[in-house]
Amino acid sequence: MTDLLQTVGTGTLIGLVYALLGLCVVVIFKASEAFNFAIGEFLVVGSFLFYIMFFDLNLPIFIALPLGLLAAGIVGALIEYLTIKPLLGRNPISMTMITLGLWFFMRACVQLIWGSDTYSFFLDLPDITLETEQFFFLSDPIWAGIFSILTFILVVFFLFRTRWGLAIRAVSEDQAKAMAFGINARFILMIIWAISSICIAVAGVMISNFGALAAGSGIVGLRAIPVVLIGGMDSIGGALVGGLIIGICESLAGAYIEPMGLIGFKDVAPYFVMLIVLFIRPYGLFGTVRIERV
């Protein structure tokens, strides 16, 4: 029993990080119905930007983190401006194809700039390891969980309580209508990409802090796929639930199924759950069931 609680707890913490990854995909999907496949590379770039501020420039963390995130946001906005904006009003499929291209392009850029080395990454946050007779939670995953949920809440607050959030929700529903009422949809879309890349960077820094950072670290970004497919591509609450489900499943699979000899099952489990959910609910648990009239 203690074992189970421990496993679920660990899964929940990492699940919160996955939820944040899911959120990044969901906000973009809601706005332009495009799936951002380059999420992993955004994660790596965001982490490296923070790396520059914190490790290369030796800034204190409370300056380095905002600066790094700001840089990540600017890069996100810039990428949107150069590659996505020209496609405004076109088929979302073409935007999705662009993100596939971005994936490989950014991958190559990262390798050119930072090479294929592994960069050690240690944030030295205050030690908040939680240790009782029953549980033992390491400090880093707890911090990761805290930062992720805080970022998640901030984004939700921004979306539902501010003027720009309202504009974002309006643009997300219909770009043309928003434009007709004087909302600058192009600018709003850029803001959305900036927010998304900032969140990805937060997740990236947290994940890098578990071990190290390398050009190949981006692969973890693909976890966002089962997260949003389970939760629903256009549901913010779904991203949270999906993230937690994936985190917990992974953790359970690692603790109970892998020891039975199925090494590597941990990485497959999320897709397993995803398939089951999609069989029962094709739009995900919380996705809007769309009625399309032909």
Instruction: Give the DSSP H/E element, type plus range, for residue 161.
Output: helix 139-161
Cβ-contact 145, 84 below 8 angstroms: no
Stretch 137-166: interaction string toward other proteins, x if CB under 8 A: --------------------------x--x
Could you tell me which stretch among 50-58, 86-94, 101-109, 265-273 binds other proteins (CB under 8 A)? 86-94
* Bridge partners, residue 119, by sequence: 213
Q: If binding is defined by CB under 8 A, does position 178 make contact with other proteins? A: yes
Read off the amino acid at residue 166.
Answer: L
* Bridge partners, residue 130, by sequence: 137
Q: What angle do CA 152, 37, 290 make, to 5 degrees?
A: 75
Judged by CB under 8 A, the residue of 63, 86, 89, 267 near other proteins is 89
Count the site residues for other proteins by CB under 8 A: 20
Whichever of 75 and 185 has its CB closer to other proteins, that residue is: 185
Specify the residue for token string 């600066």: 67
Which two structure tokens, joined as six digits, stand for 252? 């359970």
Closest approach of Cβ 89 to other proteins, in Å? 4
Whichever of 178 and 224 has its CB closer to other proteins, that residue is: 178
* Bridge partners, residue 231, by sequence: none
Q: Which residues contact 15 (CB under 8 A, 6 or more apart)?
A: 243, 244, 245, 246, 247, 248
Reported as half-sphere exposure (CB side, CA atoms, 13 A), residue 162 has a value of 9
Whichever of 4 and 88 has its CB closer to other proteins, that residue is: 88
Closest approach of Cβ 96 to other proteins, in Å? 19
Whichever of 87 and 149 has its CB closer to other proteins, that residue is: 87
Q: If binding is defined by CB under 8 A, does position 279 make contact with other proteins? A: no
State the Cα–Cα distance between residues 44 and 216, nearest whole angstrom.
8
In order of 110, 170, 189, the CA distances from 117 in angstroms are: 11, 44, 34
Q: If binding is defined by CB under 8 A, does position 239 make contact with other proteins? A: no
Beta strands in the chain (DSSP E): 118-120, 130-131, 136-137, 212-214
Judged by CB under 8 A, the residue of 88, 108, 128, 275 near other proteins is 88
Q: If binding is defined by CB under 8 A, does position 180 make contact with other proteins? A: yes
Cβ-contact 137, 129 below 8 angstroms: yes
Which two structure tokens, joined as six digits, stand for 72? 């990540």
Other Cβ atoms less than 10 A from the Cβ of 45: the count is: 27
Could you tell me which stretch among 85-93, 131-139, 146-154, 265-273 binds other proteins (CB under 8 A)? 85-93
Could you tell me which stretch among 48-56, 66-74, 174-182, 195-203 binds other proteins (CB under 8 A)? 174-182
Closest approach of Cβ 162 to other proteins, in Å? 11
Q: If binding is defined by CB under 8 A, does position 173 make contact with other proteins? A: yes
Q: If binding is defined by CB under 8 A, does position 167 make contact with other proteins? A: yes
Rule CB under 8 A: which of 90-119 touch other proteins? 90
Whichever of 181 and 279 has its CB closer to other proteins, that residue is: 181
Judged by CB under 8 A, the residue of 109, 170, 257, 285 near other proteins is 170
Closest approach of Cβ 179 to other proteins, in Å? 5
Residues found near other proteins in the complex (CB under 8 A):
88-90, 163, 166-167, 169-170, 173-184
